[in-house]
A and B are shown apart, each in its own frame.
Chain A
């Protein structure tokens, strides 16, 4: 089954404790991205990757890091989480030629206290 998986689905953590949210896709997609979704603000892109070892900032990259060492995986790293990073996070993937026709993962709800 074609899918994008994220782990964990729910996470409660404390300010400053480093965390990683994993994302994996099994569709051999080149393009992957991370979004956060906040009430009234919609989906906003954090980082994206056009292919292995190629990443770039989206609209709201501050406080986040990513890496793309393998085509299928695109982890999101919060080195020092803060309460304003409490949000719902989605990973998405697509083929480069139709990069905005995206498949989204199930989401990770992060709470930073």
Chain B
């Protein structure tokens, strides 16, 4: 089992819809969780971090964390074509390195 799992996609949603991206992790001791966005051919860019159970909202983005179920999700409201990218879930398991999932490719159809 991978430490951080994401569905590779592509996840296709129509413009204006809510995109829901999910991530599960295996280490119950994980403390910090991050979502990075990576456009094709570009470097990852941090868009959300979440450290405690519940929801965290930032503009059109909402991160949700459920430590008991070991999942973290990212909701993108009013999806735009410019949101089309790969979204990387990353987890701080307390080891020396941040552990990344392989990413979910999101396509927002105009």
A residues near B (Cβ < 8 Å) are 33, 40-45, 48, 56-59, 90, 100-107
Pick from A41, A100, A105, A106: contact of B98, CB below 8 A.
Answer: A100
Cα distance A46–B12 in the bound complex, in angstroms: 33
**In the bound complex, what is the Cα–Cα distance between A56 and B97 (angstroms)?**
10
CB pair A41–B102 under 8 Å, yes or no, is: yes
Known: A42-B88, A58-B96, A100-B34. A90 touches B102 (CB 8 A): no
B4 to chain A: closest residue by CB: A42
Q: How far is the CB of B56 from chain A (nearest CB, A)?
A: 13
8 A-B pairs with C-beta separation under 8 A = A44-B97, A45-B98, A48-B97, A58-B97, A59-B96, A100-B49, A100-B90, A105-B43
A101–B46 touching, CB < 8 Å: yes
- A100 touching B32 by the CB < 8 A rule? yes
Query: Do B43 and A56 have beta carbons less than 8 Å apart?
Result: no
Q: Are B97 and A90 in contact (CB under 8 A)?
A: no
Establish whether residues B88 and A100, one from each chain, have CB atoms under 8 Å apart when the complex forms: no
For chain B, the count of residues having a C-beta within 8 Å of the partner chain is: 19
Q: Which residue of A lies closest to B101 (CB)?
A: A42
Q: Please give, as numbers and ranges, the residues of chain A lying within 8 Å of B103 by CB-CB distance.
A: 42
User: Of B4, B46, B103, which is in contact with the most chain A CB atoms at under 10 Å from its CB?
Assistant: B46
- Report the minimal beta-carbon distance from B86 to chain A, rounded to whole angstroms: 10
Complex contact B96–A43 (CB within 8 A): no
B26 to A: closest C-beta gap in Å: 14
The answer, yes or no, to whether B92 is at the interface (CB within 8 Å) is yes
Once the chains bind, are B43 and A106 in contact (CB under 8 Å)? yes
Q: Kindly identify which residue among A33, A45, A58, A101 contacts B34, using a CB–CB cutoff of 8 Å.
A: A101
Complex: A11 Cα to B103 Cα, angstroms? 25
- Is B45 among interface residues, defined by CB-CB distance under 8 A? yes
Of B32, B46, B102, the contact of A42 (CB 8 Å cutoff): B102
Q: Is B81 an interface residue (CB 8 A)?
A: no
Q: What residue in chain B is nearest A46 (Cβ atoms)? A: B97
Give min CB distance, B5 to chain A, whole Å.
10
A103→B44 CA distance, assembly (Å): 8
Q: Is B25 an interface residue (CB 8 A)?
A: no
Inter-chain CA distance A29–B45, complex, in Å, is 17
